[in-house]
């Protein structure tokens, strides 16, 4: 039996021990051959996975046409929580098991929400750069600041989606003394038990929020949730944070709102196209802070990812698959 990892580098650039993967055995004790590629371009996907029964992919697409070229394929393990890179209907029609990695990066993503928020409200990096450039040595006073400094305590933190990451983010917001308001399918009684208020509507949530953080799945209903019409519900002083999915935001409409002062700032870890296309409307905007989809990528979260990936494969080989999608 053979396992092919199509794009292992992003999840493990060399700082996580992969020896346990190489020790995999089938149910009858036979060793599993493991082949790892750092990256796989689309034109090589079918070729590299041609003789594999097991395939792991992070962002390499396994569409219906590709799956159709892999007659030996029995198992696809997605090295992420989202599994939109796999045509699950085509896999299901072939009896191919597809698994994902749930909840491995919850705390890391919540941490990134506040990394962006604290950067926007305190401008730590910009002020540090100013000090290193000599500004403090020549200041007339014992201190200086180039941007408004904002205290989070007492402000309203709005959350769209109250799954694992939304709840972890809410806990951090409450620790900062913020009122937390959420749009969620959970009952008001359930949210109240978490110290969170349930919003009556999306519009009510947007209008009440000083900070709005997106943690909902990408669906037909949430695609371009942030667009010209809904941006009008936010205050000009509001901050938008997106560590969820890039297409939750219409980037042209967000850029227009930021450029014309209808929104104070945005902190984004995801974009619609990754890497971003040349000419992306958000690149270069001074009040738009963008990180390259790294909220999930702490060493600890990636170690959990590989541990769960290994457990998923072991469960499949034992005939008891888990984390199936």
The residues annotated as belonging to the active site are: 245, 274, 293
Q: Is residue 207 classed as helix, strand or coil in its secondary structure?
A: helix
Q: What DSSP element (H or E) covers 67?
A: helix 64-68
| CA 307/CA 103 separation, integer angstroms | 12
Write the CA distances from 323 to 58, 100, 151, 175, integer angstroms.
16, 6, 41, 32
Task: Determine the 3-state secondary structure of 290 from DSSP.
Answer: strand
Note if the bond before 275 is cis, omega within 30 degrees.
Answer: yes
DSSP structural state of residue 211? E
Kindly give the pairing relationship between strand 97-99 and strand 2-5: unpaired
Give the Å distances, CA to CA, from 182 to 88, 168, 214. 31, 13, 10
When computed from its CA atoms, the radius of gyration of the chain, rounded to whole angstroms, is 22
Q: How far apart are CA 180 and CA 173, in angstroms?
A: 7
């Amino acid at each position: 039996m053979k396992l092919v990892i199509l794009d292992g580098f992003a999840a493990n650039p060399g700082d996580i021990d992969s020896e346990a993967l190489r020790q995999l055995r089938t149910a009858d004790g036979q060793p599993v051959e493991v082949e790892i590629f750092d990256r796989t371009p689309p034109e090589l996907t079918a070729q590299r996975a041609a003789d594999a029964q097991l395939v792991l992919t992070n962002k390499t697409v396994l569409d219906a046409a590709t799956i159709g070229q892999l007659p030996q394929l029995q198992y696809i393990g997605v090295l992420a929580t989202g599994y939109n890179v796999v045509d699950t209907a085509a896999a299901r029609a072939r009896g191919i098991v597809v698994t994902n990695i749930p909840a491995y990066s919850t705390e890391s993503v919540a941490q990134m929400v506040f990394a962006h928020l604290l950067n926007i409200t305190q401008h730590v990096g910009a002020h540090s750069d100013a000090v290193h450039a000599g500004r403090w040595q020549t200041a007339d006073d014992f201190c200086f600041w180039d941007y408004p400094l904002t205290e989070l305590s007492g402000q309203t933190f709005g959350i769209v989606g109250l799954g694992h990451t939304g709840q972890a983010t809410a806990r951090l917001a409450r620790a900062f003394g913020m009122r937390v308001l959420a749009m969620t399918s959970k009952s008001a009684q359930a949210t109240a038990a978490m110290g969170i208020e349930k919003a009556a509507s999306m519009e009510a949530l947007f209008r009440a929020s000083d900070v709005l953080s997106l943690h909902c799945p990408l669906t037909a209903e949430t695609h371009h949730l942030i667009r010209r019409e809904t941006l009008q519900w936010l205050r000009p002083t509001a901050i938008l944070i997106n560590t969820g999915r890039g297409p939750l935001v219409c980037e042209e409409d967000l850029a227009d709102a930021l450029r014309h002062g209808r929104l104070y700032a945005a902190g984004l870890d995801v974009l619609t196209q990754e890497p971003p296309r040349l000419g992306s409307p958000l690149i270069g905007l001074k009040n738009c802070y963008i990180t390259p989809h790294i909220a999930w990528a702490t060493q600890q979260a990636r170690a959990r990812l590989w541990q769960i990936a290994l457990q998923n494969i072991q469960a499949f080989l034992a005939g008891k698959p888990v984390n199936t999608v």
